[in-house]
Amino acid sequence: MKRILFGILSSLFIFSAAAQSNDVPSRALFISVVENPPVLSTRREIIKLIDFAQQAHIKVLFVQIYHGGQAWFPSKVADASPYEKCRKALGEDPLALIIRQAHAQGIQVHAWANLLSLGQNTNANFIKKYGTDILTRNLKAKYKFEDFKIDNQYFLEPGDERVREDLAKTVKELLRAYPDLDGIQFDYIRYPDAHPHYGYTKINRERFKIKTGFKTIDEESPVWKDWKRAQVTEVLERLVKIVRSYRPHMQVSTTGCMPYARAYYEAYQDWASWLSSGLVDFVTIMDYSADVKEFDRWITAVKAKTTDLAKVKISVGAYKLVHAPEIFEREFRSCEKMGTTCAVFHYGSVWETPEFYKFLTSREQ
């Protein structure tokens, strides 16, 4: 009888301990290719990343593998020189190693791809292949290459079939290379959002006129605005279809601009409809505010846009708060009270700010 009682008590203790460990909110972490330390180029840094993720209760890693038209994976469509450089330094495929090491610790790996922004990369294959015609245009006159910059970046025109086709090919290459990948997060699925008068490439204007019957374009016309919003969504639909066909069970997500008015009216990114329609599995909301009250207001706004918070992850802008760690802590705690996954943007900021590391790895967490 005593043995039975002891067994029951032991089981209850184990169950209780497991329940307490499961009470730790799920967390995610962005790993950028432009941050220091350069994680993808050394085995030491990859092991260090996984060790930190364990200590900080990180369950999802968003690993940047496509940025500025360059690929950190084997690609014939994109410029894969960064991948070749990292592979040579490491002696093997860096993303494959991260996946293997992360999975051994029960951590998911999602490929993070910046798609419609080329950053400031004037040597991107898109530009070499198609010239400036591939870049979205605002209404300002273009006299030199730099005039195509919007929000200090070169943006691809989502209404151009050539953009969609090459991005589709690039995503296929990624999926073929990493069968064990848990998910893919599409970032920069949007127009630029600074002074939102763009979309004026010859191809996009011609398609708009044919589709709508309009002979001229009125910048303030809701038809023109809806057209641009549709172009962004159509790019995403094409890419999601590819992922579903290659990896039916892979998680597909996007990032989402905040506040929502910025996303919908300036970036023409209707992430709320992507959630409600089931087009994506979840959206990672970029709640990058240094004002705690504003941060909380944006979270409240997110709640109003979805009935299923499991489909939302909230990303806290650590990179903006390296000199205000107390604000980062307050925002992160506020996020976790929401009961959804909270993401840290990004890993480099953690090592830049010792207070972040201490907070995220604290036993109280």
Residue 208's domain is classified under what CATH number? 3.20.20.80
Is 227 inside a domain boundary? yes
Range of the domain at 355: 26-361
Evaluate whether 335 touches 314 at the Cβ level (below 8 Å). Answer: yes
| Torsion angles phi and psi, residue 117, rounded to 5 | -110, 135
Is 151 inside a domain boundary? yes
Q: pLDDT value at position 34?
A: 86
Q: pLDDT value at position 29?
A: 98
Q: For residue 323, what is the DSSP state?
A: T
Place 256 in a pLDDT band, splitting at 50, 70 and 90. very high
| pLDDT, mean of residues 252-266 | 95
The radius of gyration of the chain from alpha carbons, rounded to an integer in Å, stands at: 22
Q: pLDDT value at position 81?
A: 97
By mean pLDDT, which of 16-25, 219-228, 285-294 is the weakest? 16-25
| Torsion angles phi and psi, residue 251, rounded to 5 | -75, 130
Is 2 inside a domain boundary? no
Is 300 inside a domain boundary? yes
By mean pLDDT, which of 16-20, 250-254, 318-322, 325-329 is the weakest? 16-20
Q: pLDDT value at position 11?
A: 41
How many folded domains does the chain comprise?
1
Which of 313, 168, 315 shows the shortest CA–CA distance to 236? 168
| pLDDT, mean of residues 227-237 | 98
Q: pLDDT value at position 24?
A: 52
> To which H or E segment does residue 254 belong?
strand 251-256
Evaluate whether 217 touches 205 at the Cβ level (below 8 Å). Answer: yes
Is 21 inside a domain boundary? no
Please tell me whether residue 54 adopts helix, strand or coil conformation: helix
- Report whether pLDDT(10) > 50: no
Q: pLDDT value at position 309?
A: 86
- Report whether pLDDT(310) > 90: no
| Torsion angles phi and psi, residue 91, rounded to 5 | 90, 0
Q: pLDDT value at position 174?
A: 98
Residue count of the chain: 365
Beta-ladder partners of 323: none
Please tell me whether residue 282 adopts helix, strand or coil conformation: strand
Is 18 inside a domain boundary? no
The Cα–Cα gap between 72 and 66 comes to 6
Which of 286, 299, 301 shows the shortest CA–CA distance to 339? 299
Specify the pTM.
0.91
The Cα–Cα gap between 129 and 347 comes to 34
Evaluate whether 31 touches 95 at the Cβ level (below 8 Å). Answer: no
Is 83 inside a domain boundary? yes
- Report whether pLDDT(248) > 70: yes
| pLDDT, mean of residues 143-152 | 92
Sequence-ordered alpha helix ranges (H) in 213-316: 222-246, 260-261, 271-276, 292-305
- Report whether pLDDT(315) > 80: yes
Is 8 inside a domain boundary? no
